[in-house]
Structure formats: C-alpha cells, structure tokens
Amino acid sequence: MPVKELQHFLSELGWLSNEEVLSTRIPGEGNMNVVIQVTTDSRSFILKQSRPYVNKYQQIAAPAERIETEYQFYQATNNTALKASMPQLLAYSQEHYLMMLTYVEGFEDMTRLYADGAVTAGEVADLTKLLNEVHLAAVPAGYPENRELRQLNHQHIFVLPFLQDNGFELDDVQTGLQALSQPYKADAALKEKIDHLGQLYLSSGDILLHGDYYPGSWMRADGRFYVIDTEFSFSGFREFDIGVMIAHLIMVTSDKSMLEQVLRHTTADPDVELVQQIAGVEIMRRLIGLAQLPLTRTLDEKRQLLQLAYQLIMSS
C-alpha cells in the first residue's frame, strides 16, 4: 500500500496521532502473515495482518481469523511476567485482521542460529525460562481453540511429510533428499506412532501454548529475548512446545544433549517420552516436509538427524 493510502487508512482507524507516515519496510522474512515496519515523523511501529492464505506459500489457504488468537494471547499474558518479553500491543482491528505493535529497536532475528550452528548454554536457559512463563499463564475462559489453523498445521507436521506422493519435490531442496526420505515414508510402525501424536495435538488441554516455539518466533534486543508470532497458540499439552523447541536446538547444533539442557531448566514435570517423540517428529517434518528451514547441512548430516529423530520417536 502506498504511503499516502496507508496514512489515510491508519488515520481513519484512529491509530495515528498528529503524525505523518514517512516510509515502510519489511522488517524480516515472515511465513504466515504480512508484516511491515512503519516509520512516522515521531516513531516506528509494526503492522501485522493475517490473510486467508499463508503469506510465504500463498497457494496454501489459512484462516484469516488466526490473528484473533494472537490478540487473545496478548490479552491472556497482559498481567504476567511474560508481558515484558513481548512487543507491546498498541491496537487491534478485528474487521481488518490487523494488529499494531511496538517496534523493538535493534532487534536480532534469531533464525541466524541456523547459520551459526551454535547456541550458548545461557541462551538455552533464557529461552526455556521464557517458555516456562508462557505455560504458567492461565488459560482464559473462552480462549480460542484455533481449530482450523491447528488442522492445517496438523497436516504439515504429522501427515503430509510422511506420504509417498505428497507433491513435495525434495530434490529441489537438495539432491538426494527424496531418496533419503523414502524409508521413513514406508515405515508403518513409525507412521502409526506419528498418527497417534497428531491426534494428541488436535486434542484439548489445560496449558497455554505458544504453538510454534522455534527460532522464527524468537528475537533478541539489548541482551534479552522476546517472544513473537503466537497465532498458533491453543490450550494443550506443554510437551508439544518443549519438544518443538528441543527439535530446533538439535537441528541448530546437531547435539542431542539439547534435550537434557532444556529439561534442566523446565520448571514443570513434563512427560519426557512425549517430549522426545514430538522433538523427533518436528525434526523429521522440517527436513522432509514443505516447511523447510534456512539450514545448511550436508546430505549425510541430514541423514544423521533423521536417524536421531527416528530413535527419539521409536525408542520410547
């Protein structure tokens, strides 16, 4: 949207206060939503809008109402310690599926971890403590079930990566990856376990979840971490968030001990077997599914990660 049109639109919403929009830019690569940084003559802020498709893969339909879940997450954590570790919600328009958030100056995109190939013990501790704060927040009455978005996510985590004919051209990602995926797609016992985990994911629980707790949902500024992008949130089982986090730390470092490091800082008493299984599924689906990561790994390194993921799922 041109700057003049954006100025008029935001003024009509009452979101500007005697200020002029000077410029806009895309602050980082977004997957699900349209996100822009707006700079006026007095401040910068973020506009985030959900549309009836996945922004990065616009051929995939997704419920535009997902931003209502993110708004409700902000409301649910407004009076908790987590509030200081999230951008501030400035305004929300349900009609336009639009949120206005503070811009965090000097933010660092934590997807850089995939390129770095390393994470410090202090970073693991801080990120786990933030997730503890998410899980400690009370689930408000009437919190969104987020059913439609969860069903979409369920397909891409627990179903599509393990179908023989799923339309994903894995050799376009990396030559040899298609063949590498075949034994897992043909393993009936593995797929039975994954199907069971998928049904758990679709069930209801009593813990507030982030729903997509990985480096793309973390940022850092002034030495502290922030939690963002909570549109996948729902009330479920804490092991899902913990397992997803561990999976990505393992993919970053190729170090299985990330499991023990995260659990050491987890204040609750999760089902470790379930955490391992979720971590294994998340590793597999990120390597052989559509939602690829900016992960630089050789084919042999991916083979080793898939073998580890298999062990995490099947040995428990």
Q: Is the confidence at residue 106, as pLDDT, over 90?
A: no
Q: Is the confidence at residue 313, as pLDDT, over 90?
A: yes
Q: Is the confidence at residue 29, as pLDDT, over 80?
A: no
pLDDT tens per residue across span 178-237: 999 999 999 999 999 999 999 999 999 999 999 999 999 999 998 899 999 999 999 999
**Domain ranges, ordered by start, for the chain:** 3-102, 108-314
- What whole-number percentage of the chain has pLDDT above 90? 86
Architecture (CATH level 2) of domain 3-102: 2-Layer Sandwich (3.30)
Q: Is the confidence at residue 28, as pLDDT, over 80?
A: no
Q: What's the whole-number mean pLDDT along residues 54-83?
A: 91
Question: What's the confidence (pLDDT) of residue 316?
Answer: 66
Task: Tell me if the domain spanning 108-314 has CATH number 3.40.462.10.
Answer: no
Question: What's the confidence (pLDDT) of residue 121?
Answer: 96
Long-range pairs, 18-22, Cβ under 8 A, ≥24: 19/43
Question: What's the confidence (pLDDT) of residue 73?
Answer: 97
Question: What's the confidence (pLDDT) of residue 299?
Answer: 97
Question: Residue 23 has which token pair?
Answer: 């410029």
Question: What's the confidence (pLDDT) of residue 32?
Answer: 83
pLDDT tens per residue across span 256-279: 999 999 999 999 999 999 999 999
pLDDT tens per residue across span 115-150: 999 999 999 999 999 999 999 999 999 999 999 999
Q: Is the confidence at residue 1, as pLDDT, over 80?
A: no
Which of these, 271, 211, 272, lies nearest to 245 by C-alpha position?
Answer: 211
Question: What's the confidence (pLDDT) of residue 237?
Answer: 97
